[in-house]
């Protein structure tokens, strides 16, 4: 499952040309030169050779279409909220592949739903980019959360694990306060936790279910943003998780799709309001990604079996494939990016 991602665009022609050029250079140094001058030239040649070896050791380019698993997937119902460790195949969150390059050095991030799926991939990527991280999750997900905490610590970052239910305003306030205190500040808030439960007929959609979805997806975001603002210095970033469903709603996800449209809309208004405070607000709108949410009630099992087959890739995305977008949005390199909803939908072009 976990594969090295290509990081170089070096072609074999490039490499051959480089090798020929370098071989000639080294030969002439060895045959024609003597004394101290030649030694320094020789070490320069060695350094070049080492750099070349590093270049050639980069993984070869892969076809993105066949890079990750395709359907059919085994049916695998789990009770909500589901565990990543019980999934087949296990989602790839970059555990063995994501490589950082210091893009978030010294940053302090709170990630909701950081135990599994997209949130786990964000946590791993942020840690390897140099950030300290607090993750929130539900008590039933403690084992998944501890796996993530271990990976963050292995990357050299501080890992704070805070279990609790985001449907309660008091908990949301406490979560932000604890994260800011334990991390020694806060400058990234990733609102990623989400509730998705399908219902085929609106006549069966209960008020309890409707309220559950809104509390998790909309109210919690509202409460977390309010609690976080006093902690966020200029240059901070809030990143929300919308969905392709915000733009092209599934007929069995009436409540969920509506909340994801709401999140996209709140992203636009909050971005305008918070820019004078130096805070950027953006959202990511994923298409189908292989995560626990999908196998514990978000879709009928018949859909799980063919999950992602409707995309141009004919496969779902893996969480590791979306994490770089959250890194880019959080990074100060994206200083002019606010109020945007960036789609990553498997080639279906929504949002456009």
Residue whose CB is less far from Mg ion, 116 or 299: 116
Q: Is 141 in the site for Mg ion (CB under 5 A)?
A: yes
Site residues for ligand NAD per CB under 6 A? 81-82, 113, 115-119, 136-138, 141, 165-167, 192-196, 216, 241, 243, 286, 288-289, 291-294
Query: Percentage helix, strand, coil, to 5, in the chain?
Result: 50, 10, 40
Residue whose CB is less far from ligand NAD, 162 or 271: 162
- Partner in contact with 119, chosen from ligand NAD, Mg ion, none, beta carbon below 5 to 8 Å by kind: ligand NAD
- Stretches 108-116, 181-189, 267-275, 278-286: which one binds Mg ion (CB under 5 A)? 108-116
Identified binder of Mg ion from the candidate list 115, 129, 255, 321, rule CB under 5 A:
115
Residue whose CB is less far from Mg ion, 115 or 132: 115
Tell me the CB-side half-sphere exposure of residue 127, using CA atoms within 13 A. Answer: 28
CB-based contact 279:237 (threshold 8 Å):
yes
- Partner in contact with 280, chosen from ligand NAD, Mg ion, none, beta carbon below 5 to 8 Å by kind: none
For residues 127 and 154, give the distance between their C-alpha atoms in angstroms, rounded to a whole number.
Answer: 9
Q: Is 116 in the site for Mg ion (CB under 5 A)?
A: yes
- Partner in contact with 197, chosen from ligand NAD, Mg ion, none, beta carbon below 5 to 8 Å by kind: none
For residues 282 and 342, give the distance between their C-alpha atoms in angstroms, rounded to a whole number.
Answer: 8
Work out how close the CB of 123 gets to ligand NAD at its nearest, in angstroms, rounded to a whole number.
11
Handedness of CA 203, 207, 213, 218 (dihedral sign): positive
Work out how close the CB of 141 gets to Mg ion at its nearest, in angstroms, rounded to a whole number.
4
- Partner in contact with 345, chosen from ligand NAD, Mg ion, none, beta carbon below 5 to 8 Å by kind: none
256 carries an active-site annotation: yes
Work out how close the CB of 144 gets to Mg ion at its nearest, in angstroms, rounded to a whole number.
5
CB-based contact 257:267 (threshold 8 Å):
no
Choice among 98, 137, 256, 313 that is catalytic: 256
**Tokens coding 260:** 């994801």
Nearest-CB residue for Mg ion: 116
CA distances from 212 to 86, 168, 196, 217, 322 (A): 25, 11, 10, 9, 26
Length of the chain equals: 352
Residue whose CB is less far from Mg ion, 87 or 252: 87
Residue whose CB is less far from Mg ion, 316 or 343: 316
**Tokens coding 174:** 């406490």
CB-based contact 316:308 (threshold 8 Å):
yes
For residues 234 and 232, give the distance between their C-alpha atoms in angstroms, rounded to a whole number.
Answer: 7
**Tokens coding 272:** 């305008």
Residues in contact with Mg ion by CB under 5 A are: 115-116, 141
Kindly list the catalytic residues.
256
């Amino acid at each position: 499952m976990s594969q090295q991602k290509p990081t170089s665009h070096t072609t074999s022609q490039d490499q051959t040309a480089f090798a020929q050029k370098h071989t000639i250079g080294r030969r002439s140094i060895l045959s024609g030169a003597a004394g101290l001058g030649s030694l320094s030239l020789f070490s320069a040649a060695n350094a070049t050779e080492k750099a070349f070896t590093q270049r050639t050791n980069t993984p070869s380019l892969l076809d993105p279409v066949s890079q990750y698993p395709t359907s059919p997937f085994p049916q695998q119902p789990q009770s909500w909220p589901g565990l990543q460790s019980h999934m087949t195949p296990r989602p790839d969150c970059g555990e063995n592949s994501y490589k950082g390059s210091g893009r978030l050095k010294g940053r302090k991030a709170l990630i909701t739903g950081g135990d599994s799926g997209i949130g786990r991939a964000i946590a791993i990527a942020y840690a390897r980019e140099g950030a300290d991280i607090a993750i929130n999750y539900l008590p039933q997900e403690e084992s998944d959360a501890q796996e993530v905490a271990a990976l963050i610590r292995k990357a050299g970052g501080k890992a704070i694990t805070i279990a609790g239910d985001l449907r309660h305003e008091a908990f949301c306030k406490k979560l932000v306060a604890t994260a800011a205190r334990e991390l020694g500040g806060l400058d990234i808030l990733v609102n990623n936790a989400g509730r998705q439960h399908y219902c085929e007929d609106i006549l069966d959609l209960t008020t309890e279910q409707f309220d559950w979805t809104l509390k998790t997806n909309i109210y919690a975001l509202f409460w977390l943003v309010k609690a976080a603002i006093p902690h966020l210095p200029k240059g901070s970033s809030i990143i929300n998780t919308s969905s392709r469903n915000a733009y092209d709603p599934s007929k069995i996800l009436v409540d969920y799709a509506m909340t994801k449209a709401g999140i996209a809309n709140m992203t636009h208004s909050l971005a305008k309001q918070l820019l004078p405070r130096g805070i950027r607000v953006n959202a990511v709108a994923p298409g189908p990604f292989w995560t626990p949410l999908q196998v514990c009630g978000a879709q009928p099992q018949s859909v799980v079996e063919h999950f992602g087959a409707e995309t141009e890739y004919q496969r779902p995305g893996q969480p590791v494939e979306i994490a770089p977008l959250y890194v880019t949005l959080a990074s100060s390199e994206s200083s002019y990016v606010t109020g945007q909803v960036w789609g990553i939908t498997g080639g279906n072009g929504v949002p456009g």
